[in-house]
Copies of this chain bind each other. A is one copy, B any other.
C-alpha cells in the first residue's frame, strides 16, 4: 500500500504530464521508460548499469519467471528485487500476453487461459486470480490485471466479447488482491488494462466500467500491433482524455522513440518495450539523429561514439569502429555495449521529456526532437546492412 501517484506538472500546449510514483522501492519519475527484464535480467546488463542509466523502474515478465525459476522459488529467495539484485521498483505483467504469443496451445474460457509451457510442454491454467497471486509471489511493486487480447483485425463481436471478459477478469483480480490483503499479503499496486482494439466506441465502453474500479493506474493494451502509428496515437489520445488525472497511465509495449514522444504529448506516463534492446543486440541502435546500423561496414573506421550527443558509458568510452568490429566478430561485448546505450537512450529520453513538461515547453521539445531524429546527422548515407 506504499503506492502513490502524484501529478507534478501538466503542459499547457499538449496533454503531456510530469508525475511521480512512490513505491516501497523508491520514486519513479514519469514519463518513465521501463527497460524489460524478461527472465529476471535486462538482457546482458547488471542492475547497477540500469541504475547508472537512470532507470528507477523495470518490467519483469510473470510468464517467464513463473515457469522458470518459478514464483515460489523467487519468493523463497526473498522476492524478485533481492533475487536479481535490483533495488528500484518493478512492474510485472500478468503473463497473459506471453501465454498468447509463446504457448504452443492455449484455450481461453471465462475461467482463464489454459496453455502449455513453451519450455516443457506441461499443461497450465492462468486465471485472473492466479495472475495476481503469481505477481504477489514475485514481490512486484505494480501488478497488472489479466486481460484478453484479440488479434486484429477482428470482428466487432469478438472485440466486444474480449472487452466484456477483460472487465470480468479485472474485477476478479481486484477481489483476489483483497483476499491476499486480508491474509497480510498483496501489498502491490494493481493496474487495470483497457482493451477494445481500434474501435474507439469499444475502448470508451471498456473504460467506463474499468475506470470505476479501484485500480491505482490504468494501462492501454492491444495497440501497436500493426494498426499503424496514426491510428494508435488517435486511440491513445481518446483514452487519455477519458482517464482520471490522478491515476498513472501506462501504454503497454510501446517504445520507439518517436512513439514515446508522441504518446507523452497525448498524456501517457509510462512505457515499456523490448524493441530498443532487442535491436541493440542485433547491431542497430536509436540515437538522437535516427537509427544507426552500427554493424554496417561504413562505420569500420568511424571514431565517433554511437551518439555524439549521448553521455552513456558506451558513448563515453568506445567508438563506432570498435562496436562495428565487435559485432563483426560476434563478440558478446557488442550486444552488451549496444544494450547499455539503448537503455540509457530511452530512459533519458523520457527524463528529458519530463523536464520539458515541468518547464512548460513540451511542444518545442517535441518539434526539436522530431526534426533532429529525422535529420540523419552523422549516419552513413547508405543504411544497407553490411
Contacts and interface: CB of A to CB of B under 8 A. Distances in A.
A332 B303 CA distance: 27
Interface string A329-342: 10111011100000
A290 to B, nearest CB: 24
Interface string A301-337: 1010000000000000111011001101101110111
B85 A317 contact: yes
Most buried by B among A46, A73, A318: A46
Contacts of A226: none
B331 A69 contact: no
A76 interface: yes
Contacts of A22: none
Contacts of A331: 39-41, 43
Interface residues of A, number: 36
Interface of A: 39-41, 43-48, 64, 68-69, 73, 76-77, 83-85, 300-301, 303, 317-319, 321-322, 325-326, 328-329, 331-333, 335-337
27 contacts: A39-B325, A39-B329, A40-B322, A40-B325, A40-B326, A40-B329, A40-B331, A41-B326, A41-B329, A46-B333, A46-B336, A64-B329, A68-B325, A68-B328, A69-B300, A69-B321, A69-B325, A69-B328, A73-B321, A76-B301, A77-B301, A77-B321, A77-B322, A83-B322, A332-B332, A332-B335, A332-B336
